[in-house]
Amino acid sequence: MLFIDGNIAFQDSWTGGGSVAESAKRTQFSAAESRFNMGIKHGDVTGFVEIDFAGSSQGNGVFSNSYSPRLRHAYIEYQGITAGQTWSTMVNSSAFAETADLGGPLVGQAMVRQALVKLTQGNWQLALENPYTYGTQPETTTKDKQWIDTNNDYVPDAIIRYNKHGDWGNVSLSSLFRYLDPANTAQFGAGVSLAANLNTFGRDDIKLQLHYGNLGRYVGTDAARDIINGELETTTAAMFAYRHFWTERTRSSLFYGRTKTDVEATDRSHIGLNVFTNLSPALVLGFEVGRYQINDANSSYHQTVPAQGASNYAQLSMQFHL
């Protein structure tokens, strides 16, 4: 159950996108975030597949609320090699906050799933991942966006990552290298990402992510583009969450995420506070309140001063894990 009150248009979950509209209130119940997965292991070979129903354009509230299945993961692992669709190597999923809202402060996170080939050797990971240039062409306008043609994306994105684990938690450092060549512009991009899940007192933990560079679609979940008006975009983003266990079964997380860009001058943030309790070992009840905000600034890309706004929300979820 999700209740939203504010002038940022309703979203099923708070991604880094969104638009400022007339102030409104809305309540929606949904089961579309339900997930089903299956893993199979045979000797040295592991296969995994997962689907959910979020983001489907099929469903409506008139009478059936039907939703189409959506592929999340489908990959094979063999002797340190991963091939298929799964989390980008930029993503440290242990650094995601526990939230009722799908994915939590997506606006400050690395949050990409795509096809890749990855080699893992000890603490090191090297990957080639699906190239895709997300952005607008030169001389485009905010009212009439001319999106980049991706027919010339032929060099895979390259990622190098180092992981360190211990009794204290884990930390990862990733570097992204990209060759973006829409309309033969030949632009090189690079960025760096730091993510960590750190144990503190008792069972408490801190989850954090820091990102900087030409990361584009890899960070912020639609808060940033790769290229804007033909110019390479630079993104600065961060996410922080502290989780405190009140009892063995009950805990709370306070989280904050934010992304800012240089060329488009976007500024998106998300803050929230929740409480989760296990009604049984497999059944979790959660309640969350939060605020999503758009504070985009004026830049040479905009013809008018961008609209600013915010929406507050309350969300209740029940999750059954097997």
Beta bridge partners of 198: 169, 206
Q: What angle do CA 95, 67, 103 make, to 5 degrees?
A: 10
Q: How far apart are CA 268 and CA 271, in angstroms?
A: 11
- Convert the pLDDT of each residue in 63-101 to its tens digit: 888 889 999 999 999 999 999 999 999 999 999 999 998
User: What are the structure tokens assigned to 140, written together?
Assistant: 């485009």
**What does the pLDDT read at residue 124?**
98
**What does the mean pLDDT of the chain come to?**
92
Q: What is the pTM of this model?
A: 0.92
- Mean pLDDT value across residues 51-56: 87
DSSP 63: T
Residues 6+ apart with CB under 8 A from 61: none
Q: How far apart are CA 221 and CA 109, in angstroms?
A: 8
**What does the pLDDT read at residue 140?**
67
Cα dihedral 308→194→262→190 (10° resolution): -140
**What does the pLDDT read at residue 307?**
83
- Convert the pLDDT of each residue in 163-207 to its tens digit: 999 999 999 999 999 999 877 778 899 999 999 999 999 999 999
- Convert the pLDDT of each residue in 196-224 to its tens digit: 999 999 999 999 999 999 999 999 999 99
- Convert the pLDDT of each residue in 31-44 to its tens digit: 988 999 999 999 99
**What does the pLDDT read at residue 54?**
87
Q: How far apart are CA 164 and CA 183, in angstroms?
A: 40
Q: How far apart are CA 145 and CA 301, in angstroms?
A: 11
CB count in 10 Å sphere of residue 294? 23
What is the percentage of the chain residues whose pLDDT exceeds 90? 77
Residue 304 has pLDDT above 80, yes or no: no
For residues 56 and 36, the model is more confident at: 36
- Convert the pLDDT of each residue in 256-265 to its tens digit: 999 999 999 9
Place of tokens 């939060």: 290
171 closest CA partner among 123, 214, 217, 212: 123
Q: What are phi and psi of 80, to 5 degrees?
A: 85, 0
Q: Are 21 and 36 in contact (CB under 8 A)?
A: no
- Convert the pLDDT of each residue in 267-299 to its tens digit: 999 999 999 999 999 999 999 999 999 999 887
**What does the pLDDT read at residue 290?**
96
CA distances 28 to 7, 200, 226, Å, are 17, 36, 33
β pairing state of 309-320 and 283-294: antiparallel
- Convert the pLDDT of each residue in 112-152 to its tens digit: 999 999 999 999 999 999 999 998 887 766 666 788 888 88
113 closest CA partner among 87, 84, 75, 76: 87
User: What are the structure tokens assigned to 185, written together?
Assistant: 């512009």
The whole-angstrom distance between residue 88's C-alpha and the CA centroid of its chain comes to 11
**What does the pLDDT read at residue 131?**
95
Task: Classify the phi-psi angles of 103: left when phi > 0, otherwise alpha if psi is within -120 to 50, otherwise beta.
Answer: left
User: What are the structure tokens assigned to 95, written together?
Assistant: 């650094």
